[in-house]
Amino acid sequence: MLNVKALVFILSAFIGLTQQAEWSYSDEASWGGSCHGSGQQSPINLVSQAAVTDYSGAVIRGPLEFTGYDAVDVGALNNGHTLKWKTLSGRQAPTVSGGPLEGNYTFQEFHLHWLSEHAIDGVKHPLEIHLLHAKSGYSVSEASKIENGLAVIAILFKHRACVDYTKAFDSVSHSQLWESLKEQGIPTKYISILKAIYSKTSAQIRLEKIGDTFPIKRGVKQGDPISPKLFTALLESVFRKIHFEYDKCGININGEMLTHLRFADDIVLLADSHDAIQTMLRTLDTESRKVGLLMNSSKTRAMTNSTEKPIHIHSGNIKYVNEYIYLGQIISFEEALEKEIDKRIATSWKKYWANKDVFKSDLPIHLKKKIMDNTILPTLLYGCQCWALTKTVIRKITTFQRATERSMLGLKLRDRVKNSDIREITKVTDAVVMLCKLKWKWAGHIARVTDGRWSERVLHWYPRDGHRMPGRPRRRWHDDIVSVAGHTWTRLAQNRKEWLDMEEAFTQFWVPK
């Protein structure tokens, strides 16, 4: 049973959104026009403390009671705006009663909203399902004309969890590691070599004097190039033994469920409900313990755009956060790109001042340029292939680089030296040019991938179970690519030479004039 946040809306003839616009269940095609220019657009924020508990004589009559919902025959309809599922004619329709409802209400249809139409206490949701009911004995059109004729139950979700292990590389069981390598088809001779490397290993602790020798029976060697591979192999065996309920866990990407992301011991679990994420975490915790890995509840974090319900594992409760740094990048349900840019700039300044003995010295400028291009620029542009470019992003990157160039030369803004003249002296690689080239090359690479990896699937994924909310759409990753190469850019990218020739146009589109 899916455990989700549900809301009930009892609708009369209409609900007024603003003084200028009215909303009803009739004439769907004109909804966008009627709401255009209004001061309040979806998602409509619902404040829990202001919830009405006694309206027009209605009282809360205990929990909602659902009848006939265990098995329902429905037919699908795509009306061009959203997907709907309606009960088939001649079939017994389920009903709902109780709560604030007066009498029984019969199920008519359910449809999807991607993103959600409502926010709860300011928290937005990526998906909202509406179960539309009409007062029993009435059709939808008839019920919409009487008071409290319609009842809509809204379901909002989803959840995300970022997993951290306690001393992950130090707690690996050697016997489980060799078994994992064998299960994954590693030749016996290579496993024997690894066993020989790890057999009879020992250590000593040096303080004022060298301590006694003790054997090492767990963990992989820190700093050894093969250690991350060994740990990944062990974790792969853990996930192969986990059987998530794929109809409830993860995100539906064109018919396949994406349940988790992994990079070494950095793991993200994805689910659309509290119960699902709770089950996934407990299952992962149990299987991990069998190979010597302990989940660190003090560092494992959960994120949700729904109600924050307690999540428990063996080592304690999981704390909720609004954002999390995963693989060096901020992830959040809110738009976090500008925060990420600010973080990258702050990190780059730290790197710059860590090398102040170089940048503030009398060393030749061409040596400073090399340090700038090989240390500061990679720090600044880390992960830029995933950025959705905007004028604000470009301005912040440009401002940072110009400030570092002036600092290298010992110049102040009041010296009023032109930026073009400074660049002639420093000859550093333009950060915006490098950003554009990196993103353009990455876009071409992903467009040409044919092995079914998730990055390719997500590129071609368009959620079909909802519609975009009113208002200005959020900036998407490929919007800046489309602005130069058009909507057929993935086909153009198949020709490497043609794609490379268009790189300069993309760069010039964004480089400040």
Q: Which phi and psi angles does 166 have, rounded to 5°?
A: -80, 120
**How far apart are the C-alpha atoms of 472 and 469, rounded to whole Å?**
9
Q: Report CA dihedral (136, 140, 142, 143) to the nearest 10 degrees.
A: 60
Position 418 scores a pLDDT of 93
Please count the CA atoms within 13 angstroms of the CA of 337 that sit on its side-chain side: 19
Provide CB contacts within 8 A for 449, sequence distance 6+. 455, 456
Task: Please report the sign of the dihedral spanned by the C-alpha atoms of residue 314, residue 316, residue 322, residue 325.
Answer: negative
**How far apart are the C-alpha atoms of 197 and 73, rounded to whole Å?**
62
**How far apart are the C-alpha atoms of 340 and 440, rounded to whole Å?**
20
Position 30 scores a pLDDT of 57
Q: Hey, what are 87's tokens? A: 């009960």
Position 250 scores a pLDDT of 79
Residue 372 DSSP one-character state: I
- Residue 311 φ/ψ region, left for φ over 0, alpha for ψ in the -120 to 50 degree band, beta for the rest: beta
Position 336 scores a pLDDT of 82
**How far apart are the C-alpha atoms of 339 and 357, rounded to whole Å?**
29
- Is the bond preceding 115 in cis, omega lying within 30 degrees of 0? yes
Assign 348 to helix, strand or coil.
helix
- HEC letters along 241-272: HCCCCCCCECEEECCEEECEEEECCEEEEEEC
Of 100, 105, 97, nearest to 59 (Cα)?
100
Describe the chain by its helix, strand, coil percentages, rounded to 5: 35, 25, 40
- Burial label for 347, CB within 10 Å (0-12, 13-18, 19+), is middle
Tens digit of pLDDT at every position of the chain (513 positions) = 333 444 444 443 333 233 333 444 455 555 555 544 544 445 577 766 566 554 444 455 567 788 887 666 677 666 655 666 777 666 678 888 887 788 899 888 887 776 677 776 666 666 778 888 889 889 888 888 888 888 888 877 655 566 656 666 667 788 888 888 888 888 999 999 988 888 878 888 888 788 888 888 778 777 778 888 888 888 888 888 877 665 567 778 887 888 888 887 788 888 878 888 888 888 888 888 888 787 877 788 888 877 888 888 776 788 888 888 888 888 887 778 889 999 999 999 999 999 999 999 999 999 999 999 999 999 999 999 999 999 999 999 999 999 999 999 999 989 899 999 999 999 999 999 999 999 999 999 999 988 888 888 888 887 766 566 677 777 888 999 999 999 999 999 999 999 999 999 999 999 987
Place of tokens 């030479």: 497
- Is the bond preceding 378 in cis, omega lying within 30 degrees of 0? no
**How far apart are the C-alpha atoms of 348 and 378, rounded to whole Å?**
9
Position 92 scores a pLDDT of 77
Q: Are 45 and 122 in contact (CB under 8 A)?
A: yes
Helices assigned H by DSSP within 184-293: 188-198, 227-241, 274-290
Q: Report CA dihedral (216, 219, 224, 230) to the nearest 10 degrees.
A: 130
Domains of the chain, with CATH numbers? 5-156 (3.10.200.10), 163-332 (3.30.70), 337-510 (no CATH)
Position 388 scores a pLDDT of 92
Position 438 scores a pLDDT of 96
Assign 455 to helix, strand or coil.
helix
Q: What is the DSSP string of 493-509?
A: TTSHHHHHHTHHHHHHH
Position 375 scores a pLDDT of 94
Cα distance between the two ends of the chain: 58
Of 161, 131, 136, 140, nearest to 6 (Cα)?
131
Provide CB contacts within 8 A for 501, sequence distance 6+. none
**How far apart are the C-alpha atoms of 160 and 300, rounded to whole Å?**
11
